[in-house]
A and B are shown apart, each in its own frame.
Chain A
Amino acid sequence: MNSGNDEAITVDKFPFGENSNSATPLVVETRGLKKTYFGKVDVPVLHGLNIRIHAREFVAVIGQSGSGKSTLLNILGALDVPTGGTVLINGTDISTLDEDELARLRSDDVGFIFQAHYLLNEFTCLENALMPITIRHGEANEEQTNRVLHLLNRVGLGDQINKHPDEMSGGQNQRCAIVRSLANAPKIILADEPTGNLDSRSGEEVFAMMREMNRESGVAFVMITHDDRLANAADRILLIEDGNIREISKEEHRREALRISKQSGD
């Protein structure tokens, strides 16, 4: 790509037809987002990103290892703080929030799915799925419990709800983690290689679930992936390269993937 000037590129191309753009609210927006890790040698990771993600979108983020994908995701989810620029989540500038307000924001507006499911072994599948509600409210009420039960049924875990994570398969655990990320009905779900630990079949199942949840509830997804097929199934693809981000077309992505696979001699 034409690396060159400091003028950051705004990535905001809404995929659902020209006229629906204004009607769909902006969920996450970054302006000139920068992140540098300070240490013996300062490592600049993100060089000023402008990203806009709307409700109902399913965005794949690709890039080589160490390109800053996870860092970006953590910042979008208010887990990490940028060293420059602004992050707006659901319209709120997160730099204005204190520790407790950030926690509340993570609870209400953001869901996380990680490569490892990180379910709590001390709790059952249902209890794990209800965890964000329990954290937020102390206890889930009947309506919340029913909603989560419905979601568990939807992802095919209806008969697993009383099992503990170590009694379920990797795919089942990851599906439970998806339901958990949806428990508080967030605006956006940030998924960091959610299928990375799964075999390809379970991975596809899990991805299909996420896509379905995205279509059904309208929650936006930002998914980091190394799987080119999954990236191609997203609404749009963002490539992080040399600390910058740009949107690439699926055609371009296919060419890029081919080039990389040739380079690495696959």
Chain B
Amino acid sequence: MKSLFGIFISALVPKKFRFEFQLALRHLLSGGSQTLLTISAVGAGVIIVIFITSLIFGLEEMMTNLLTESIPHVVVQVKDPKPDGLQDAENPVSNKIEQQTSQLKFIDNGEQVVRTIRGLPNVRGVTSVVSGQGFASKGANPVGVAVIGAEPELLDEITPVTKDLVEGKYRGLGSDEIVIDTELAKDLNVNVGDRIHLTSSSGQADSFSIKGIYDRGQGRGSAYVTLRNGQSLFGLGTSINVIYIKIYDIYDVEDLSNTIMTLTPYEAKPWTKDFSRFLTNIRMMEASAYLISIFSLIASAFAIASVLVVSVLQKSAQIGILKSMGARQQQILTVFIFEGLGVAILGSALGALIGMTIVYLISLLKRSDAVIGGEPASLFPVKILPVYIGAAILAAIISTVIAAVLPARRAAKLNPVDVMR
């Protein structure tokens, strides 16, 4: 007697709710195009949410990556001392604040600090760096250049040089070797293998052979030497003056800097400090994604509510007869909630499937301005976040059920005497 489907229902639905479930199911099945319409409304809402969030978060990720991949996320250095000025009250010759001299302040327990930072959460890479200013020359004209002394393998993890090389190598940099950018190479008219002269701001000088030339397309870059060379160029002995840190969650950077500043006497500057406007823009993009999502879900909830209101009107006589047979208000309410739930689950599943397919297809579109031989970049930088898809489905289900409650309550309260005339 029992169909396969009946057995399925018996297995899945508690006996207590079988009447409500059966009736909701029959309503949906007999609803035909009306049911399809409501399912599509929920689906459309979910598709929009998935599409918008994938696109905006993809864009956000691309922009942030572009911005932060070449910079350290946290820079640890010695705090700037407060300039003296008027404090020397005994001999107030001048109240003009002196500019800081280019004298380097150094971190003498560098290794210990690096070890401490490495043990902190969210830290992806840490490296000791000597950073300062100098002059590069080949023959007569010296050109100002920022000099960075670090271990190539470690620095590549943080502010990559190797991937931007146009010639030569960075990894395996020797003690008298240097990597410079194309601008400097052009100014000095040098090439890989040539030797250049480098004088640091603290007066030491040395000559280096060019091992590689890189191009970041961001104007004048730094000149890279080994940590040892940097230390001797700036007369730091075994000390360093900067620590570069790369982290996993780049938006969780403030916490890390604060932790570092409580653990060490040094200043830890998060990348966000220099890019607050960029961050504001990112936040605005996120907010607009959320707003669009919320409005599209609200719109689909209204569509569902209106269809269900009509459905309750159509079924008022049926509700009346069910009540005359002993159906309780709660049961009628549950029937219509189940209907809403069924529409919500089917619609959001369908929407998620179609939405993810669309996003995937879009991610296949490539930009036409790809470099020959290079990997073409995506036209739309999309990012599918499972948590947002889950949230979209959940939000769609919740909004649909809320939309169902109103007509359902109305149905439950119908007086059988009034509707069965």
Contacts and interface: CB of A to CB of B under 8 A. Distances in A.
Nearest to A118: B321
Contact of A123 (B14, B15, B18, B26): B26
Interface string B257-291: 00000000000000000000000000000000000
Interface string A169-202: 0000000000010001000000000000000000
A167 interface: no
A99 B26 CA distance: 26
Contacts of A103: 323, 326-329
Nearest to B321: A118
Interface stretch (A2-10, A20-28, A72-80, A227-235): A72-80
A216 B318 CA distance: 30
22 contacts: A79-B417, A100-B330, A103-B323, A103-B327, A103-B328, A106-B325, A107-B326, A108-B326, A118-B321, A120-B26, A121-B30, A122-B23, A122-B27, A134-B18, A134-B19, A135-B322, A135-B327, A136-B326, A137-B15, A138-B16, A139-B10, A145-B1
A114 interface: yes
Nearest to B18: A138
A161 to B, nearest CB: 10
Sort chain A's interface into a size bin. 20 to 34
B353 to A, nearest CB: 28
Chain B interface residue bracket vs A: 20 to 34
Contacts of B331: 135
A132 interface: yes
Interface string A68-109: 000000100101100000000000000000011001111110
Contacts of A137: 15
A114 B321 contact: yes
A139 B15 contact: yes
B317 interface: yes
Given A79-B416, A122-B27, A123-B26, A132 B325 contact: yes
Ranked nearest first, the 8 interchain pairs of A and B with the lowest CB-CB distance are A107-B326, A122-B26, A118-B321, A138-B15, A138-B18, A103-B328, A106-B326, A132-B325
B326 A114 contact: no
A42 B329 CA distance: 29
A125 to B, nearest CB: 14
B29 interface: yes
B324 A77 contact: yes
Contact of A184 (B324, B326, B420): B326
A121 B417 CA distance: 21
B339 to A, nearest CB: 12
Interface in B378-420: 416-417, 420
Interface in A131-168: 131-132, 134-139, 145
A145 B23 CA distance: 18
Nearest to A145: B1
Nearest to A75: B417
Contact of A138 (B17, B325, B330): B17
A176 B416 CA distance: 20
B321 A100 contact: no
A135 B27 CA distance: 16
Contacts of B70: none
Nearest to A101: B328
A112 interface: yes
Interface of B: 1, 10, 14-19, 22-23, 26-27, 29-30, 317-318, 320-331, 416-417, 420
A105 B1 CA distance: 30
A79 B321 CA distance: 10
B324 A112 contact: yes
Contacts of A131: 322, 325
Nearest to B28: A122
B17 A99 contact: no
A190 to B, nearest CB: 9
A105 B328 CA distance: 11
A121 B17 CA distance: 20
A139 B13 CA distance: 11
B420 A118 contact: yes
Nearest to B9: A139
A118 B323 CA distance: 12
Nearest to A183: B325
Contacts of A74: 417
B24 to A, nearest CB: 10
Contacts of A99: 328-329
Nearest to A121: B30
B253 to A, nearest CB: 57
B411 to A, nearest CB: 14
A114 B26 CA distance: 23
Nearest to A99: B329
B325 A107 contact: yes
A180 B23 CA distance: 16
A136 B325 CA distance: 9
Nearest to A149: B1
Given A134-B18, A145-B1, A118 B327 contact: no
A116 B324 CA distance: 14
A139 B30 contact: no
Contacts of B317: 116, 118
B326 A132 contact: yes
Contacts of B318: 118, 120
B325 A112 contact: yes
Nearest to A104: B326
Nearest to A117: B321
B417 A135 contact: no
A234 B324 CA distance: 24
A122 B30 contact: yes
| B326, B327, B416, most chain A CB atoms within 10 A | B326
Given A74-B417, A114-B420, A139-B15, A79 B324 contact: yes
